[in-house]
Structure 1
Amino acid sequence: MIKNKVAFLMALIGVFGVSLKAQEKVLTKEDAIALALENNYGINVAKNQVEVAGNNKGIMNSGYLPTLTGSAGASYSRDDSVIEFPGQFNEDGTPREDVELDKAEAQSYSSALTASYTLFDGLGRFYNYKRLKEQYQLSELQARETIENTIVQLFSVYYEIARLTENENVLRKTLDISRDRYTRSEYSFEYGQSTKLDILNAQVDITNDSINVLNARQQLANTKRDLNVLLSQDLNMLYTVDTLVTFIPKIKLEEFVGQAKLNNVSLLQTERNLAINSYDIKVQKSGYLPTIGLSGSYGWNLNQSAQSAFFPGTNTDNTSFDLGASLSWNLFDGGGTNVRVKNAKIAYENQELLKKQIELEVDRDIQNAMAIYENKLVIYTIQEQNVVTNQNNFERSKEQFQLGRITSIEFRQAQINLLNAQTNKNLAKYEAKLAELQLLQLTGQLLNVEL
């Protein structure tokens, strides 16, 4: 019975593992970034917003081009009328006859082209045009921030998959050791060198290790679906990830930190907002100055009037060409312009204060991120050495167990210690890499280095 249960667990885990890996391909870091940039919904929305800002900053939205309006019209009328002359007589004394007008038609046609151009508007459109260009640059920075946040989120999931992959491998090796121990316990029991209790203990450990492997695989599959959501692809897409991690030299990171104020996306956005607010002030001040405009029109009219009782029908063909200039100056608008200028200046002052606050926060975040990164690297180094120590301890315990000098419980403890050391090392490695990515994001270099 025991043999059948153990064989069943081995077969179940083996088949499950093969079915998971049969169709998997390697998803490299570069491929993941490319898929995210192409497919991620948040990034595509940000790209569209940049395109809208690009349209807004174009000459077609600047107010510098003239307007041209065309118009045309036509009308038609037909009258049937009878004109009576009561009490009127002809020269011979007979009553004057009625005049009947049948199908008296009148037609009118017109067309015109009207052009207008604002020659001077107090420099309002000039500064608004510059403001729109700054708005476009701000939208590019906002899109960059969206991309950076998505890349960090992407790699937090990507490296979690890598960690779970390595943990699964460790757990499978642990299960293999437990299987080997179970087989040895059976042989020892048959030759009278151990008790039934050793076999039962080995079976319990196989059961626990098997469950750990199954849970690790399930968690791995769930995390892969999380990554598929970020990549906007089929949720059941199968793949493996690259578990190789390299760290940027410290001297390079220190150089990035020194240039952070020039590259941090939050600081760059505050500068663009300051520029936008400065142009807002100038746009509002344009209300103090006059507006000069030019206009011109060309028109054509054709009127065909119907005949009347006293006059014959006429045709009138007319063309016209007009030019004009206008000047308007709002000498006093109830103080509205003055209020708008004051409010724009206050908004600029608020933006300056916000910039100082963000500069302080970014400096704090960078220092914290650097300290966290260095601490994570030290922990990773310690965990690497801990794995070596526990590996040596396990090998020594294995030898002692095979010689019968230690119990199965002591051997199992050495096995668990090695397992914990290996999984802790995996966790420390990827936590250190994620800390590095967060530091790169704060220094504005996340998109400029090879990850």
Structure 2
Amino acid sequence: MKFNKIKIIIVVFLSTLQGFSQNILTKKEALKITLENNFGIKIANNNLEVAKNNASIYNTGFLPTAAISSGANYRRDNQTINRQEGTSTSIDGAVTKSYNASLNLNYTIFDGLGRKYNYQQLKETYNLTELQARETIENTYLQLFTTYFQIARLSENKANLNEALSISKQRLQRAKYQYEYGQSTKLELLNAEVDVNNDRITLINANQQLSNAKRGLNVILGIEKEVNYVVETKVDFLKMMNFDDLQQKTLGNNSLLKQNEKNVAISEFNIKINKANYMPSLGLNTSYGWNKSENPATSFLAGSTSNGLNTGLSLSWNLFDGGSTKTRVANSKIALDNQQILLKQQKLSIENNLKNTWENYQNQLFILKTQETNVLTTQNNFDRSTERYKLGQITSIEFRQAQINLINSKTAFNNAKFDSKLIELQLLQLSGDILNFNF
């Protein structure tokens, strides 16, 4: 007996030491790591930078274009010229040289307001990409804490299984003593051994599930981390608003609905851009040029040099393009109609999802309270069964059943607790509030 007590003290000491050596990954730390390293968030931020570049003034056509051009030409040939009075001159290897350089500036003064609508469309596209990045971050938030709370759930279940194994080992030890002193049968001892082995197997499987969940969390974090860390298991529930306020907030802030609204705005600008092709286009072009030439003796002029400014306006109006503009306008109107239909469909779908999630959340909170009561009841029953088992008033099978009932009730309570929290996070995402949640 003394030796067994020493062993128990050593095991407890080593377990405590191991607990101190494990790092605690808090929810805030996990969120910080994810925002910095998650691959999906990095891609979303890069896409946002591309949209920002596209919405720049440099991509709108509002600025003029300027170009410098220059050239040189060398020509060598044999020439013969015949004059009216009958004389002629022949030169072998006559060389002609010419040089030119110019600075050209072009600017579109009016293009039927196409540039204006295109610029506004690009800004709406940037806003859409911003909402898409927000949706990616929201989904990552939900994915992160779904996995994080799954680890917390498995950690608490593992603690319960450790406690169950410890109880089963004590029962096995008791069965050995009773069998050695002839107070019980071999069957009691064998049943206790089987239960210990079953509890060990269950604990091994729980450890494997926990390790797998932690490796899954590493993928979301975007880092390679050893799986010997622990997570926070405490769960705090928010004081949720009433359903009407939550519904109003969802319709105003849900990222999917906001994206559909931006798609409608982009389609409206697309119609205006296509209609701009019905209007004339007025352009300004100006250039400053320099030209020089060196001619052979056969030429009337030995050479010439010129420079000067050239400015002009150009007006073009495509009166009829075969109907292509009309077709594009008609198709863009149909695309707008489709976007408006999708917006109505998305709104109806999100409202339905919100109602289902809200009802599920209310039911889950009730289940959580019920399971909490069940834990107290089964714990009381197990404590009484333990005392009666020690006094020999119940069989080991009855004691085992009380133990199983306690484990099942604790597991059910943990599941209800974390399921309720995950549904709460889904409500926060639907209402567009998950990024404002203080973890």
TM-score (norm 2): 0.90
Contact 1:122 1:286 in 2 (8 A): yes
Letter in 2 for 1:76: Y
Structure 1 stretches lacking a partner, 5+ long: 1-5, 91-95
- Once the two structures are superposed, the pairs formed by residues 70-89 of structure 1 within 5 Å of their partners are 70-78=68-76
> What residue number does 1:38 align with?
36
Q: What residue is the counterpart of 2:26 in the other structure? A: 28
> Could you tell me which of 418, 428, 431 is aligned with 2:406?
418
1:202 partnered with 2:192: yes
Q: Offset of 1:136 from its aligned partner?
A: 0.5
Mapped to 2, the partners of 1:144 and 1:173 lie a distance apart of: 43
Q: Does 1:366 align with 2:354?
A: yes
Q: Deviations over 1:47-99 (max 9, x none)?
A: 111111111111000110001111111233456x69799xxx99xxxxx9x97
CA distance in 2, matches of 1:174, 1:424: 15
Are 1:323 and 2:311 an aligned pair?
A: yes
Residue 25 to residue 168, structure 1, CA distance change in 2 (3 Å):
same
The separation in 2 between residues aligned to 1:123 and 1:311, in whole angstroms, is 52
Match of 2:437 in 1: 449
> Residue type of the partner of 2:221?
L
Q: Please report how far the alpha carbon of residue 197 of structure 1 lies from its aligned counterpart in structure 2 after TM superposition.
A: 2.8
Matched residue, 2:415: 427
Tell me if the contact between 2:247 and 2:351 (Cα under 8 Å) persists in the aligned partners: no
CA deviation vs aligned residue, 1:248-273 (integer Å, no higher than 9, x gap): 11337763333211101111112111
Q: Is this contact kept in 1: 2:144–2:220, CA < 8 A?
A: yes
Counterpart of 2:177, as a letter, is: Y
Deviation at 1:23, TM superposition (A): 5.6
Shift of 1:106: 3.9
Aligned counterpart, 1:287: 277
Match of 1:57 in 2: 55
- Correspondence for 1:383 among 348, 364, 371: 371
**Contact 1:72–1:111 at 8 Å: present in 2 too?**
yes
Cα distance in 2 between the residues matched to 1:223 and 1:20: 20
**Sequence identity, in percent?**
47
Structure 1 position 101, deviation (Å):
5.0
SS in 1 for 2:434: coil
Is the 1:71–1:113 contact (alpha carbons within 8 Å) kept by the matching residues of 2? yes
- State the structure with more CA Rg: 1
Residue 368 of structure 1 aligns to which amino acid in structure 2?
N
Aligned to 1:259, the other structure's residue is in SS state helix
Matched, 1:178 2:163: no
- Within the alignment, does 1:66 sit opposite 2:64 as a pair? yes
Determine if the alignment matches structure 1 residue 164 to structure 2 residue 149: no
Amino acid at match of 2:361: Y
- The 1:208–1:298 alpha-carbon spacing in structure 2 relative to 1, beyond 3 Å, is same
Cα contact 2:211–2:227 (8 A) shared by 1? no
Secondary structure class of the residue paired with 2:153: helix
Comparing 234-243 and 168-177, the one that deviates more: 234-243
| Distance 1:314-1:170 versus aligned 2 partners, 3 A rule | same
Matches within 5 A, 1:113-152: 113-152=103-142
- Amino acid in structure 2 at the alignment position of 1:212: T
Separation in 1, partners of 2:386, 2:230: 32
Query: Offset of 1:187 from its aligned partner?
Result: 2.6
Residue 235 of structure 2: aligned partner: 245
Deviations 1:279-336 (A, max 9, x none): 111111111211110000111122223x34x569834222121000011111122222
CA distance in structure 1 between the aligned counterparts of 2:16 and 2:92, rounded to whole angstroms: 101
Pair 111,358 (structure 1): closer, same or farther in 2 beyond 3 Å: same
- Flag structure 2 segments of 5+ consecutive residues without an equivalent: none
Equivalent in the alignment of 1:396? 384
SS in 1 for 2:109: strand
Name the counterpart of 1:355. Answer: 343
Give the Cα–Cα distance (whole angstroms) in 2 for the partners of residues 127 and 202 of structure 1: 80
The 1:84–1:352 alpha-carbon spacing in structure 2 relative to 1, beyond 3 Å, is closer
Residue 419 of structure 1, CA deviation: 0.5
| Native 8 Å contact 2:175 2:189 kept in 1 | yes
Cα 1:408–1:345 change in 2 (3 A) is same
d(CA) in 1 for partners of 2:309, 2:60: 28
SS at match of 2:51: helix
How many residues in Structure 1 have an aligned counterpart in Structure 2? 428
CA deviation after TM superposition for structure 1 residue 109, in Å = 2.1
Give me the whole-angstrom Cα distance separating, in 2, the residues matched to 1:424 and 1:406. Answer: 26
The equivalent residue for 1:93 is: none
Q: Does structure 2 conserve the Cα–Cα contact (< 8 Å) formed by 1:290 and 1:328?
A: yes
CA contact (8 A) 1:57 1:132 kept: yes
Whole-angstrom distance in 2 between the partners of 1:20 and 1:43: 35
TM-score (norm: length of structure 1): 0.88
Compute the displacement of 1:162 (Å): 0.7
Q: Does 1:109 align with 2:99?
A: yes
SS at match of 2:293: strand
Deviation at 1:386, TM superposition (A): 0.6
Shift of 1:185: 2.1
Partners of 2:144 and 2:315 in 1: CA distance? 59
1:264 to 232, 247, 254: 254
1:229–1:235 Cα contact (<8 Å) kept:
no
Which SS does the other structure have where 1:166 is aligned?
helix
Find 1:301's aligned residue among 291, 296, 302.
Answer: 291
Q: Single out whichever of 346-355 and 230-239 deviates more from structure 2.
A: 230-239
Check 1:269–1:78 CA distance in 2 against 1; reply closer, same or farther (3 A cut).
Answer: same
Which of 437-446 and 253-262 deviates more? 253-262
Deviations 1:80-135 (A, max 9, x none): x69799xxx99xxxxx9x97756x55433221111110000000110111011011
